Each structure stands twice: as structure tokens, then as C-alpha cells.
Structure 1
Amino acid sequence: MKLYMPTKVYNEKNCVENHSRELAALGTKALIVTGKHSSRINGSLEDVKGALERERIPYVIFDEIEENPSVETVMKARALGVSEGADFVIGVGGGSPMDASKAISLMMANPEHDERLLYTKVQTSADGPVREAFPVAEVPTTAGTGSEVTPYAILTKNVLPDIVLTTVPLEKDREAFAHLEKRTKQSISHHIFPALALVDVTYLQTASRTGCINTAVDTLAHLIESHLNTNSTEYSRIYSEMGLRTWAKIKDKLLRFEIGEEERQALMRACTLGGMAIAHTGTSLPHGLSYPITTEMGVPHGKAVGIFLPGFIRNYGNQEEAMKVLYLLDFGGEQTFCEYIRQLLGEVAISEELWERTMDEVLANPAKLKNYPFMLDREKLQGYR
């Protein structure tokens, strides 16, 4: 068994201010990566700016991170960071800015490489050696992804169909097939753990009902998928079991949306625990199935993942372990859990064509199946819908 969690985590009010020296110690100039609005509304951006100014560390802000951040946006932010001479990155916001900040830090450290580096693991190439990413700090403002403690960065990118990639040998010739490209979500090939996570529950106060529920369900998926996983160990299950018990305490209040400070603390704690768990195991089928639902239907990530959780529990190959998860969540059984998720998220109508294509993509991709510890065929996967 292996336990590896290199991120230093502070979970407390005013932690950005309290630990400004450690934030400043990461480099000599910061690139702050965030979105357009929420970090300004909840005060997190102002806190980060104040901490850097107090420590006399210059910074530049890139505030164009979109939901489901794209490779193109990462490269735009890289250009700003390089031109400004930044040597560390601070992600402020939800999963999108935090994931993007990791990818941006890698590309800033390797300015001679183009975006192909994001999806290759080579140590050297025709463009030169591949350097380690610049240090990253994360300031989460949602309780969902756990990205503040994971090495993953999920980006949206254009991909060509396999038939083009396997039959058209030269990249310049593939430009003629650009109209066949589609958008997909995919983790970059490099693992980049943040050096520092500054977790302040205060930033959750401005979250909307929909945003709070969707991110909380993303946390739930991380906890379930890491527990029922090929890579789970006694160590990783310490995180997932503690997180499941924590999530159970607030599930009824989440349904009624009676979310006060105590509930926000529990959500943030469960989120970070979920991130620590998937840092060791990765996610599993609900996440793999969710990506087309998000990219093609515009369903928010947490909701897209959550709709597949009942099927994942119901069809899991070891029902004793699946029932243990429901016990930790304080559900009486699978039917009770399914009804809860339906009430929390509502219904999502997936077209037959998209569902058939999603199943084909998952079954044809070993990377999406490797974390599921049982044989899976089309008939079994049908039960996830």
C-alpha cells in the first residue's frame, strides 16, 4: 500500500491571511488564475491580493477561466504568465480555476512547448526537456472537486474521430477534417499536486442553491467512486469512509437546503477528504459516463456525475461493498438512495443516440474501465441509465 499526500492543507477561517508568508514563499511573482465573477463576490480574490501585497509579492490576474476550462484558455493564460515573468500560480475558485492553474503552471515552466505537452508524458522532445510545473497554491471557493489536494487537471479539448487519427498520417493533412472535431473532457497526462491549499469555509456563503447541490454531489461521487475502486486501499478508504460519514450528516439538510455554517464546514471537509481519496484511486464509471453529458448537453458536472450514481451502486459487482457505502451514508437501501438522488437532482433526459455513443466510448476506452474492478459489458452498462 502507498499513502502520498504532499499538499500542505490549512482548513480554517482567514487562512489566506494567516498563512500569507507560506503563500509568498512559493515564488517571486504570482499569476492569479480565476473566473470573472464569483471570486470577487465571495471575497477570496481580495484576500489573495491582500496577502500578496502584505508580503510585497507582485502579481498579475488572469480572470478568464470558463466552466469546463479549455486548452485554448490555458495557453492564453500561459502567455500572460510568461510575459509577466510569473514563477508560481494561485488558483482561486471552484474546480475549473483550480484544475486550469495546474495545467497553466506546467506550460509556464515549459514556454518552448506547445499544447501537445499537456497530453504527453515525454521527458524530452524536439522542443527540449520537459521541466516540472511551477509551484501551485489553491484557494477553493466551492465544496465539490477537491482539486486543492489532487494532482489532476481536467480540460476541455477538441478531438478527431479515431478513424481520422489512424488513417491520416500527417498532422497538417488532418486540418481538412477539422469540421469533424468534437469537444471532450480529458485529464492532462501530468500529475501536479498543489504545494499549498488554503481552505476557508467563509467563501461558500455566497453559493447558490443549485451550485451548492451540484458541487456537493460531485463530492459524493468522489467518495463513492474512490471506495468502490480497483485502486482502493485501507489507507485511501480512511479518507473515503470519513468523508461518507461526514456527508451523511448533512444530506437531509442539503435536500431542504438548510445550509448554515456547520453544514458548510461539513461540505468543505467532505470535499477535501474526497479529493484526498481520489488522489490515490482516481474516479470510476460515473465520471467517465458524465463527460459527454456535460460537453454536449451542458449539464453541470456534479449533476451529470450524480445521475449515474444510483446505477453504479445498483450494478456494482460486489454488492456487500456497495451496501457498506450506503450504510456509511445512512441510507436504508439502494431504493432509498435512488429516490434521494432523484429528489435532489431531478431528471435528466439523455437521448438514445447520445447514450449509445457514450456507452460505446466508455467500453472502447481502457482508461475509463481500469478503475472498475469487474468485467463490464454493454448489457450491464445499460443499467446505469
Structure 2
Amino acid sequence: MKLYMPTKVYSEKNCVENHSRELAALGTKAMVVTGKHSSRINGSLEDVIGALERERVPYVVFDDIEENPSVETVMRARALGIKEGADFVIGVGGGSPMDASKAIALMMANPEHDERLLYTKAQVSAQGPVYPAFPVAEVPTTAGTGSEVTPYAILTKNVLPDIVLTTVPGAAAQGAFSHLEKKTKQSISHHIFPALALVDVSYLQTASRSGCIHTAVDTLAHLIESHLNTNTTSYSRIYSEMGLRTWARIKDKLLRYEIGEEEREALMRACTLGGMAITHTGTSLPHGLSYPITCEMGLPHGKAVGIFLPGFIRNYGDQEEVMKMLSLLDFGGVQPFSEYIRQLLGEVSVPEELWERTMDEVLANPAKLKNYPFMLDREHLQLFR
């Protein structure tokens, strides 16, 4: 077994202010990556800018990160970062800005390459990664992805045939993906751990009801998929078991949406634990099945993942382990869990043609199957719906 968790995490109120010196020490000019609205409403962007100004570190803000960020957006941000001479990146927001910040940090540090580098197999030499990234700090404002402690960055990309990386002199080539229509969500090939995670539960106070529920279900999926996983170990289950117990304490209040400070703290703690868990195991089939649903139906990520959780645990190959996991969540069986998810998320109908294509894509992709520790054929996968 192995355990590797290189991200320094501070989880406390006012942690951006409290640890501004460590934030500023990551470089000489910051690229702040965020979305258009929420980081301004919840105060996180103001706090980050205040910390940088207090430490006299110059910065540039890129605030055009969309939900399910695209490769094109990453490349636009990279161009701005290089132009401004930034040498570290701060992601502020939910999973989209935090994931994008990692990809941007990679591309800024490798200006001779175009966007194909994102999906080129990572290489490591005796001196470290062949394609290093600039340092990244994350300031999460949702309790869902756990991206503040994972090395993953999920981007929306156009489907392309296999490609071979080439170097491009000078600035990166732009728009190589722009004329293809079909999109998918896919993790970049490089693992980029944040150097610093500044987790302040105060930023959750302005979250909407739907946003809170969908991100909480994403956390739940991380904990379940890590626990029931080919790569699970006694070490990874330290995180998943603690996270499942934490989630169990607020599940009834989440259903009634009685979310106060104590519940927000529990959600944020479970989120970070879920991120630590999947860092060591990866996600499994509910996430793999969700990506086409998100891209083509426009469902929020957490909801798209959540609709597959009941089928996943109902048909998992080791039901004894499923029952152990459900006991940690304080459910008496699969049926009460399934009914809970239905009440929480509502009914979702996936069109038959989309479901057939989704199954085809999953079964044809070994990367989406490797974390499921049992044989899987189409007949079995059909039951996950």
C-alpha cells in the first residue's frame, strides 16, 4: 500500500487571510482563475485579492470559467497568463475553476506546446515531470468535487482521433478543436496536485438549494466509488469511511434542506475527505456513465452522477461490502438508499438512444472499466440505469 497526499490543507474560517503569506510565497505574480459571479457574491474573490495586495503580490484575474470548462477556455486563460507574466495560479470557486486552474498552470509552464499537451501521456524523468506545471492554490466555494486536494482536472473537449504531440515554436496554436461538434468530459493526462488548499466553510453560505444538493451528491459519489473500487486500500478507506460517517450525519437535514453552519461544515469536511479518497483510487462507473449525460442533457454534474448510484450499489459484485458501506451511511439496505436518492434528486429520464451510446462508450473504454473490480458486460451494465 502507499499513501501520497502532498497538498497542504488549511480548513478554517478566514484561512485565506490567515495564510496569505504562504499563498504569496508560491510565486511572483498570480493568475486568479474563477467564474463570472459566485466568487464575487460569496466574498472569496475579494478575500484572495485582499490577501495578494496585503502581501504586495501583483495579480491578474481571469473570470470567464464556465460550468464544465472547455479546452478552449483553458487556452484563452493560458494566453492571458503568459502575456501578464504570471508564474502561479489560484483557482477560486467550485470544481470548474479549480480543475481549470490546474490545466492552465500546466499550459502556462509549457508555452512551446499547444493544447494537445493536455491529453498527451505524462512522462517523468529522474528530475521530475517532463512537463511540469506552475504552482497551484485552490480556494473551494462549493462542497462537491474535492478538487482542492486531487491531482485531477476534468475538461470538456471535442472528440478527436488519436494524436501525436508536436511542439509549436513560440505561443501556442489556437482553435485546433474548435470545428468539431461532439463534446465529451475527460480528465487531462497529467496529475497536478495543488500546493495549497484554503478551505473556508463561510463561502458556502450563498449556495443555492439545488447547488448545495447536487454538489453534496457528488461528494457522496466520490466516497462510495472510492470505497467500492479496484484500487481501494486500508489507507484510502480511512478517508472514505470518515467521509461516509460525516455525510450520514447530515443526510436527513439535506433532504429537508435544513442547512445551517454545522451542516455546511460537515459537507465541506466530507467533500475534502472524498477528494482525498478518490486521489488514491479514482472514481468508478457512476462518474464514467455521467459524463455523456452531463454533456448532452445539460444536467448538473452531481445530479448526473447521483442517478447512477442506486444501480451501481444494487448490482455491485460484493453485496457484503455494499452493506458495510451502507451501514456507514446509516441506511438499512439498498432500497432505502435508492428511495432517498430519488427523493433528493427527483426522477430523471435518460433517452434510450443516449443510454445505448453511453453504454457503448463505457464498454469500449478500458479506462472507464478498470476501477470496477468485477467482470462487466452489456447485460450487467444495463442494470445500472
Tell me the TM-score range normalised by the shorter chain: over 0.9
Contact 2:122 2:189 in 1 (8 A): no
**2:372 counterpart SS class:** coil
**2:157 counterpart SS class:** strand
Relative to structure 1, is the Cα distance of residues 366 and 208 closer, same or farther in structure 2, using a 3 angstrom cutoff?
Answer: same
* 1:357-368 aligned within 5 A: 357-368=357-368
Instruction: Return the offset for 1:131.
Output: 3.3
* 1:265-344 aligned within 5 A: 265-344=265-344
* 1:191-270 aligned within 5 A: 191-270=191-270
What does residue 7 of structure 1 align with? 7
Contact 1:226 1:240 in 2 (8 A): yes
TM-superposition CA deviations, 1:106-162 (whole Å, max 9, x none): 0000011000000002559xxxx94310000000000000000000000000004x6
Contact 2:32 2:92 in 1 (8 A): yes
What does residue 166 of structure 2 align with? none
Relative to structure 1, is the Cα distance of residues 51 and 256 closer, same or farther in structure 2, using a 3 angstrom cutoff?
Answer: same
Note the aligned Cα RMSD (angstroms). 1.7
The 1-side partners of 2:206 and 2:226 are apart by 29
Task: Look up the equivalent residue of 2:96 and give its one-letter code.
Answer: S
Instruction: Return the offset for 1:85.
Output: 0.3
Q: Which structure's residues are more often helix, by fraction?
A: 1
Contact 1:78 1:107 in 2 (8 A): yes
Contact 2:98 2:138 in 1 (8 A): yes
TM-superposition CA deviations, 1:64-106 (whole Å, max 9, x none): 0000000000000000000000000000000000000000000
For structure 1, the residue ranges without an aligned partner over 5 or more in a row are 167-174
**1:157 counterpart SS class:** strand
The 1-side partners of 2:191 and 2:62 are apart by 22
Relative to structure 1, is the Cα distance of residues 17 and 144 closer, same or farther in structure 2, using a 3 angstrom cutoff?
Answer: same
TM-score by length of 1: 0.94
The 1-side partners of 2:10 and 2:251 are apart by 25
What does residue 170 of structure 2 align with? none
Equivalent residue pairs, number = 370
**1:148 counterpart SS class:** coil
The 2-side partners of 1:316 and 1:339 are apart by 18
The 2-side partners of 1:131 and 1:204 are apart by 35
Contact 2:158 2:180 in 1 (8 A): no
Matched, 1:151 2:151: yes
Relative to structure 1, is the Cα distance of residues 330 and 67 closer, same or farther in structure 2, using a 3 angstrom cutoff?
Answer: same
Contact 1:110 1:130 in 2 (8 A): no
Contact 1:150 1:279 in 2 (8 A): yes
Matched, 1:380 2:374: no
The 2-side partners of 1:347 and 1:298 are apart by 15
**2:158 counterpart SS class:** strand
What does residue 36 of structure 1 align with? 36
Relative to structure 1, is the Cα distance of residues 122 and 246 closer, same or farther in structure 2, using a 3 angstrom cutoff?
Answer: closer
Identity %: 88
Contact 1:232 1:280 in 2 (8 A): yes
TM-superposition CA deviations, 1:308-336 (whole Å, max 9, x none): 00000000000001111110000011000
Relative to structure 1, is the Cα distance of residues 122 and 236 closer, same or farther in structure 2, using a 3 angstrom cutoff?
Answer: closer
Task: Look up the equivalent residue of 2:203 and give its one-letter code.
Answer: Y
TM-superposition CA deviations, 1:335-382 (whole Å, max 9, x none): 000000000000111111000000000001000000000000111111
Instruction: Return the offset for 1:27.
Output: 0.2
What does residue 95 of structure 2 align with? 95
**1:149 counterpart SS class:** coil
Task: Look up the equivalent residue of 2:188 and give its one-letter code.
Answer: I
The 1-side partners of 2:121 and 2:133 are apart by 13
What does residue 172 of structure 1 align with? none
The 2-side partners of 1:207 and 1:367 are apart by 33
